[in-house]
Structure 1
Amino acid sequence: MSRLENKIALVVGGSGGIGSAITQRFASEGARVYATSRKGGDGDTGANGTGSVLFVQADASSNADLGRVFEEIRVEEGRIDVLVVNAGLAEHALLEDLSEDHFDRTFGLNVRSLVLAAQGGIQLMQPGGTIVLIGSIAGDIGTKGYGVYGATKAAVRAFARTWANELAPKGIRVNVVSPGPTDTPMMANASQEIRDAIVSLVPLGRMARPEEVAAAALFLASDESSFTTGAELVVDGGMNQV
């Protein structure tokens, strides 16, 4: 049996890179997946395996846009079984160069939208619902020029612990997947020198594939992790573990 058969899933930031891999994997496991995209238009992509995908245009940092998505799901499905919050950005800025705009933009998408999505999601969740937040090992390490990004991902981890505690009486689990360097289109834009330098820090000798991060998200979204909440599942090839 497919692990998400007949489940309704929402992937916030589900149209590219890791988000796209999660969207497609969930659909292949039987879920009806709503995936938000800031640039993409509405459109049903049809079946994928035993499930299906519906892309919905929405800015994850907009309360109005997220509200519209939740209302659409409420009307069409009546519930959400799985919520994944993946939307985020990482921009380089040293402490001496930090601007208010950089700070507000990064925290607005990486943290504020996370809170808004969780608030909306739990209104449509029943006991057995799961929330999977996409963090990063950047929340545990100090990468020069990415202090604000790292701080947002540390916030993701902190929220997961708190929400797991708050939502346990409702039967809702909350967990985090924290990838290390992942071979996404964004990473493809980096120079070969930078890519080689990053890979040299990974004991397994390569970057993660988006599909490997999606597999971790699937585990936390499915009943296979039914006694796991408040946890962080790291997918980094050992980079920050050994």
Structure 2
Amino acid sequence: MDTLIDKVAVITGGNSGIGLASAKLFAREGASVIITGRRAEVVDAAVAQIGPRAVGLVGDVADLSHHDAVAELVRSRFGGLDIYMANAGVNTITRSPDVSEAEYDAQFAINTRAVFFGVQKMQPLLRDGGSVILTSSIASDKALDGHAVYAGSKAALGGFARGWALEFKTRGIRVNILSPGPTDTAILDKLGVPPSEREAFETAVAAGIPLGRLGRLGRPDELAQAALFLASDASSFITGVNLKVDGGMTLL
């Protein structure tokens, strides 16, 4: 359990879902982990779950000053950084004719702008040979109803990753994308599916996933294992790729 021994990782949105599962796994593998989130009580609860290797910082990635605070914490407490996982994101499912300016701006502020400026702030702190992981979505490649704005905000990450993979190559810093398919996280509760219909909803979604034939969605721990691969030396010769962890959904 020492894949990330003595490494330092930052995971934005590390207080829930895929981010929390990744933070737990990284800590078990020996890393010191800084997680960020918007609600203090949720961040504190996540830190307690992750254990003594975790540090929490409350803030909103859409506020660019938050990235300065993260950088200062990394600099003062650890002196440098090995893994940056830009994971915080938001998805509001609305068909294009009904999208408001506020909804559009919120998704791009969190899913796109925050990723760019987060990496900009962390890059000087990243040690040579480090890893940057951008959490995207299969929606960036697969058309999904009501996802046009979300898909656009996530598609930009592909351009970021390819550009940064070349910009950072002389330092051996790898930049890759992790694209989840439908995953059983708290975000499903925000879609407005009544508890009484949750099982039927998941079964219907799983029917469109080749590996969902058993009637389930992806699990956060499965995404965390993929993130660990991208964070560790196991992917030492991989950069600029989009790793889709979707049970084959984009094949259909």
Same fold by TM (over 0.5)? yes
The corresponding residue for 1:11 is: 11
Letter in 1 for 2:29: E
Matched-pair contact (CA < 8 Å) for 2:23–2:50: no
Q: Distance in 1 between matches of 2:78 and 2:249?
A: 41
1:219 aligns with 2:219: no
Percent of pairs identical after alignment? 40
Aligned pairs for 1:78-117 (under 5 A) are: 78-117=79-118
Cα RMSD after superposing both structures = 1.8
Which deviates the most, 189-198 or 169-178? 189-198
Deviation at 1:45, TM superposition (A): 3.9
Deviation at 1:31, TM superposition (A): 0.3
Q: Which runs of 5+ in 2 are unaligned?
A: none
Deviations 1:7-37 (A, max 9, x none): 0100011000111101111001000000001
Deviations 1:162-190 (A, max 9, x none): 11111111221100110100000122453
Matched-pair contact (CA < 8 Å) for 2:35–2:56: yes
Which deviates the most, 7-16 or 182-191? 182-191
How many correspondences in the alignment? 241
Q: 2:248 aligns with which of 225, 238, 241?
A: 238
Aligned pairs for 1:58-69 (under 5 A) are: 58-69=59-70
Secondary structure of 2:168's aligned partner:
helix
Q: Which runs of 5+ in 1 are unaligned?
A: none
TM-score by length of 2: 0.90
Letter in 1 for 2:147: Y
Q: Distance in 1 between matches of 2:106 and 2:185?
A: 21
The corresponding residue for 1:30 is: 30
Deviation at 1:232, TM superposition (A): 1.1
Deviation at 1:231, TM superposition (A): 0.7
Matched-pair contact (CA < 8 Å) for 1:46–1:54: no
Secondary structure of 2:34's aligned partner:
strand
Deviations 1:177-216 (A, max 9, x none): 1010000012245343432221110111221100000000
The corresponding residue for 2:187 is: 186
Deviations 1:74-133 (A, max 9, x none): 011110100001111000221111211111000000001001110011110121111011
Q: Could you say if the C-alpha distance between residues 124 and 67 of structure 1 is closer, same or farther in structure 2, counting changes exceeding 3 Å? A: same
Which deviates the most, 184-193 or 81-90? 184-193
Deviations 1:139-176 (A, max 9, x none): 01111111000111111122111111111112211001
Aligned pairs for 1:133-152 (under 5 A) are: 133-152=134-153
Deviations 1:50-89 (A, max 9, x none): x711111111111111211110110111101000011110
Q: 2:207 aligns with which of 200, 203, 208?
A: 200
Matched-pair contact (CA < 8 Å) for 2:136–2:179: yes
Q: Distance in 1 between matches of 2:156 and 2:47?
A: 34
Q: Could you say which structure has the higher helix fraction?
A: 2
Q: Distance in 2 between matches of 1:219 and 1:105?
A: 30
Which deviates the most, 176-185 or 165-174? 165-174
TM-score by length of 1: 0.94
1:121 aligns with 2:122: yes
Q: Distance in 1 between matches of 2:93 and 2:127?
A: 40
Q: Could you say if the C-alpha distance between residues 210 and 63 of structure 1 is closer, same or farther in structure 2, counting changes exceeding 3 Å? A: same
